[in-house]
C-alpha cells in the first residue's frame, strides 16, 4: 500500500465502523495452541514479517467529514501477554490499531476488527503469522504462499462495489424472530471452546445425509428450542450463516466480502429429532446459498450505502442511521452460526500445533465452527448469564456418544454443574 494515501472502507466495513464509538465492537479472535510455550520475541518477529505482506491490516480508523476511513499505523504493535478479556474492543481512539496479537503459555492469539476484514480474510493473515512463527522458532521452511503479494490491488479491492448491480437488489420479508430471553452481562461475556472429534461428527452427518454445517446449525436450533417458553413458540427461530462470496464472484480480496444466509425454523409443540431438523436446514441452506439469492442481499446493502441522501449526510448522522439499521435487523435474528471449515497450514507446521480455535465478540449468542485435523472446535460467545442453551447444545453431542472437552474464560464458581461435567 502507498502509505501517503487514505484508504476507503468497504461496504461492510462502513457498517461496522458505525459501532466504533460505542462500547461494543465486532472482533474476531483466532488462536493457535502450540506444543511448546510461545516465545514472545519470536512471535514479534513473525508479526513484523506478516505485516510486511499484509500492510492493509496495520491501520487505524479515522473520522472524515462524510465517512470513516483507514490510515496506516505509525508502527507495528508489540505482542503482549494476554491481560485483557477476549475479543475486547480494538478501536479506542484515532491512533489505535485495528488488530492485536497476544500470548498466554503455549497459545498465540490474533484479534482483528471486522472493520478491516471478514473471517476468511483474517484467516489468511493468521495462517501466515503462524507459519512465520514456526519458521522462526523451529527453523522450518514453509513454502506455501511465499509467492503471493498481498499488497497488490487485487487483494485490497472492494468486492461489493466491484460486483454491484443495483437492479438485482432486493429484500425478503420475514416474520419477527424469537429473541433469547434472560439476564445479560455485556461487560463480562462468556467465551467457550467446545472441542469434539471431527470424524465422529462427520459420521453422524453422513448418517443423516447432511453436511456438518447443517448438523451443527440443527444442534443450535434444537438447543434453543429446548429452552423456549411455551408462549414463544409462535415466533420462528432464525439464524444467520455467513457465506464467503469469493467462491461465487471473481475476487481475491482480503477485505470483507461475505453474504448472509438466513435459516428459519418454526418450532413445534413437540420436539423434532436432530435428524429431522438437520434435513430441513440442509434444504434451506442449499436453496439460500445460490448466487442469485446472495446477490439480492449484497446489492441491497451496497444500495443503502449509495443512497444519495445518506451519501451527503454528515458522519454522525450516517453512524446513527447505520446503527439504527443494525438494531432493526437484529430484531429478526435469534443467533448466528459460522463455519470456517477445515483449517490447514503448510506441512512445515506439522507436529508444532495442537489445536486451533476461533471466537467472535457478541451482543447475544454466537457460534463459530472450525476444524483442524480431527479436532472440531466450536467457539461459543454469549452475554447471557444463564447457560442453559450452551448446556443443551453440549448435551446433544453427549447423547450421540460424542465426548467433548471445554475451555472457558469463567472460574468454576460461575459455571453450572452440567457444563463442568461436559
CA–CA distance, 397 with 390 (Å, rounded to integer): 12
**pLDDT for 3:** 44
**pLDDT for 227:** 94
Cβ contacts of 79-82, under 8 Å, gap ≥ 24 = 79/40, 79/43, 79/44, 79/47, 79/103, 81/40, 82/107, 82/109
**pLDDT for 281:** 96
**pLDDT for 204:** 97
What residues of the chain score a pLDDT lower than 70? 1-6, 65, 144-149, 164-174, 301, 303-314, 316, 318-319, 321, 323-330, 410-422
CA–CA distance, 326 with 322 (Å, rounded to integer): 6
**pLDDT for 146:** 64
Asked if residue 38 lies in contact with residue 100, where contact means CB atoms within 8 angstroms, the answer is no
Written as nine digits, the cell of 34 is 502450540
Report the predicted TM-score, pTM, of the whole model to 2 decimal places.
0.90
Dihedral of CA 2/93/362/43: which sign?
Answer: positive
**pLDDT for 76:** 94
**pLDDT for 225:** 95
CA–CA distance, 84 with 350 (Å, rounded to integer): 30
**pLDDT for 420:** 55
**pLDDT for 4:** 47
**pLDDT for 1:** 42
Amino acid at each position: 500500500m502507498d502509505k501517503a494515501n487514505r484508504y476507503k472502507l468497504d461496504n461492510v466495513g462502513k457498517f461496522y465502523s458505525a459501532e466504533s464509538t460505542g462500547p461494543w465492537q465486532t472482533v474476531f479472535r483466532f488462536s493457535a495452541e502450540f506444543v511448546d510455550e510461545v516465545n514472545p520475541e519470536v512471535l514479534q518477529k513473525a508479526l513484523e514479517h506478516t505485516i510486511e505482506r499484509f500492510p492493509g491490516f496495520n491501520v487505524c480508523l479515522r473520522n472524515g467529514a462524510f465517512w470513516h476511513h483507514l490510515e496506516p499505523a505509525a508502527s507495528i504493535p508489540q505482542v503482549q501477554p494476554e491481560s485483557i478479556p477476549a475479543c475486547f474492543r480494538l478501536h479506542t481512539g484515532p491512533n489505535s490499531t485495528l488488530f492485536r496479537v497476544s500470548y498466554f503459555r503455549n497459545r498465540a492469539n490474533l484479534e482483528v476488527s471486522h472493520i478491516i476484514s471478514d473471517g476468511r480474510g483474517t484467516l489468511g493473515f493468521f495462517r501466515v503469522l503462524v507459519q512465520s512463527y514456526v519458521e522462526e522458532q523451529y527453523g522450518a521452511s514453509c513454502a506455501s504462499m511465499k509467492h503471493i503479494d498481498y499488497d497488490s490491488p487485487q487483494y485490497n479491492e472492494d468486492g461489493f462495489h466491484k460486483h454491484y448491480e443495483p437492479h438485482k437488489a432486493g429484500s425478503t420479508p420475514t416474520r419477527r424472530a424469537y429473541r433469547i430471553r434472560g439476564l445479560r452481562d455485556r461487560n463480562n461475556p462468556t467465551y467457550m471452546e467446545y472441542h469434539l472429534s471431527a470424524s465422529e461428527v462427520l459420521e453422524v452427518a453422513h448418517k443423516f445425509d447432511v453436511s456438518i454445517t447443517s448438523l451443527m446449525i440443527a444442534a443450535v436450533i434444537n438447543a434453543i428450542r429446548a429452552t423456549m417458553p411455551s408462549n414463544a413458540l409462535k415466533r420462528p427461530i432464525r439464524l444467520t450463516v455467513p457465506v464467503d462470496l469469493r467462491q461465487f464472484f471473481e475476487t481475491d480480496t482480503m477485505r470483507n466480502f461475505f453474504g448472509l444466509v438466513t435459516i428459519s425454523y418454526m418450532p413445534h409443540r413437540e420436539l423434532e429429532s436432530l435428524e429431522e431438523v438437520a434435513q430441513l436446514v440442509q434444504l434451506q441452506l442449499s436453496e439460500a446459498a445460490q448466487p442469485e439469492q446472495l446477490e439480492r442481499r449484497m446489492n441491497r446493502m451496497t444500495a443503502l450505502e449509495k443512497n444519495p441522501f445518506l451519501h451527503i449526510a454528515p458522519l454522525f448522522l450516517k453512524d446513527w442511521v447505520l446503527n439504527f439499521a443494525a438494531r432493526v435487523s437484529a430484531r429478526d435474528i435469534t443467533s448466528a452460526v459460522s463455519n470456517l471449515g477445515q483449517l490447514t497450514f503448510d506441512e512445515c507446521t506439522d507436529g508444532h500445533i495442537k489445536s486451533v480455535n476461533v471466537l467472535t465478540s457478541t451482543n447475544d449468542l454466537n457460534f463459530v465452527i472450525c476444524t483442524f485435523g480431527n479436532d472440531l472446535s466450536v467457539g461459543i460467545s454469549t452475554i447471557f448469564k444463564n447457560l442453559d442453551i450452551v448446556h443443551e447444545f453440549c448435551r446433544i453431542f453427549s447423547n450421540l456418544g460424542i465426548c467433548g472437552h471445554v475451555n472457558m474464560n469463567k472460574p468454576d464458581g460461575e459455571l453450572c454443574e452440567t457444563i463442568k461435567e461436559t
